[in-house]
Homo-oligomer: A and B are copies of this chain.
């Protein structure tokens, strides 16, 4: 194994000079750096991470925490793999490694996070979910460990960093878009009314409707595991002669399509569907879904960038970072004016 000493010897300098050159310290002359770099090249030197960690106290790596897999399907949403690769790509660029945390329960996760931190495995965390009274976030905050969450900030939680889209605006623009296509009887549908995300987007929907002097409908619940909601939703759509529905995500939109076909309603001829995420699901079945791309890559990149900033500056800098979204027009929305 070639160490910093070997490089130093070959370059005819002191090991500390090599160390400094490595981090491109400005107190080393370009000439010396060049010499050192050449020596590194010649010898095929690669720094030993453990040694530098031990000496510097910095881990050069961050933890990425997945949501508790209480509902087993959640994790298999394409979103998580997408953001994981986005974060990893950004981390590579910045010479950081990432460690992942998964667990069955939030409690489990909390213990893992605590361990990772105490073991000095990571300097900070990206938490890929937000939940009320989440033990993980609480732990991180109480212990003043740098972290950023991906997802909607809860109300009242101010001194924490979040990366998210402007979900209210996105839902509002969804209404604008549908109205521009001639729709007026628009319904908002979600699989769970309690989720913060649902609430925020529903609020955006309400605002959007009101902006067009349309009366917003009550939130539509469609929980595939709860058969009641299915029937209710079906009749609601029929009786209110809904022409467009906004679905909380692509998967829900897919299920909605099937529900509608059961009621002999075709998409988009009878009912248009507009959804969010632009995930793989949007292009499985025709009609391909018109959906908002939430910029997963940007979410990942921003979260890491901000986290590293907090780590480097050793100071919490709570920010709400918002990532732009973009409409992907495909086949599930009909223009009623044509």
With CB as the reference atom, state the residue of chain B lying closest to A285: B258
Contact B285 A120 (CB under 8 A): no
Q: How far is the CB of A62 from chain B (nearest CB, A)?
A: 12
Contact B76 A88 (CB under 8 A): no
What 4 A-B pairs come out closest when comparing CB atoms? A76-B78, A50-B53, A46-B118, A50-B54
- Interface size classification for chain A: 35 or more
Contact B119 A100 (CB under 8 A): no
CB neighbours (8 Å) of A112 from chain B are: 92
Contact B48 A119 (CB under 8 A): yes
Identify which of residues 38-94 in chain A touch chain B, using a CB-to-CB cut-off of 8 Å: 46-51, 53-54, 59, 66, 69, 73, 75-76, 78, 80-82, 84-85, 88-89, 92
CB neighbours (8 Å) of A98 from chain B are: 99-100
CB neighbours (8 Å) of A102 from chain B are: 84-85, 88-89
| Complexed CA–CA distance, A69 and B122 (Å) | 26
CB neighbours (8 Å) of A81 from chain B are: 75-76, 80-81
Identify which of residues 269-286 in chain A touch chain B, using a CB-to-CB cut-off of 8 Å: 279-280, 284-286
Interface residue? A254 (CB, 8 A): yes
With CB as the reference atom, state the residue of chain B lying closest to A281: B284
Identify which of residues 84-136 in chain A touch chain B, using a CB-to-CB cut-off of 8 Å: 84-85, 88-89, 92, 97-102, 112, 115, 118-121
Q: How far is the CB of A151 from chain B (nearest CB, A)?
A: 17
Residue among A49, A82, A112 facing the most chain B CB atoms (10 A cut-off): A49
Could you say how many copies of this chain the assembly holds? Answer: 2
Interface residue? A255 (CB, 8 A): yes
Label chain A's interface by main secondary structure: helix
CB neighbours (8 Å) of A140 from chain B are: none
Interface residue? A251 (CB, 8 A): yes
CB neighbours (8 Å) of A46 from chain B are: 115, 118-119
Q: How far is the CB of A281 from chain B (nearest CB, A)?
A: 8
Contact B284 A120 (CB under 8 A): no
Question: Which residues of A are interface residues toward B (Cβ below 8 A)?
Answer: 46-51, 53-54, 59, 66, 69, 73, 75-76, 78, 80-82, 84-85, 88-89, 92, 97-102, 112, 115, 118-121, 251, 254-255, 258, 279-280, 284-286
Contact B85 A75 (CB under 8 A): yes
| Complexed CA–CA distance, A100 and B76 (Å) | 17
Q: How far is the CB of A73 from chain B (nearest CB, A)?
A: 5
| Complexed CA–CA distance, A264 and B75 (Å) | 35
| Complexed CA–CA distance, A254 and B286 (Å) | 11
| Complexed CA–CA distance, A336 and B88 (Å) | 50
Contact B100 A121 (CB under 8 A): no
Q: How far is the CB of A317 from chain B (nearest CB, A)?
A: 25
Q: How far is the CB of A269 from chain B (nearest CB, A)?
A: 16
| Complexed CA–CA distance, A98 and B99 (Å) | 6
Q: Add 5 more A-B contacts to A48-B54, A81-B81 (CB < 8 A).
A: A50-B54, A69-B85, A88-B100, A97-B99, A97-B121
Contact A48 B88 (CB under 8 A): no
CB neighbours (8 Å) of A100 from chain B are: 84, 88, 98, 100
| Complexed CA–CA distance, A55 and B85 (Å) | 32
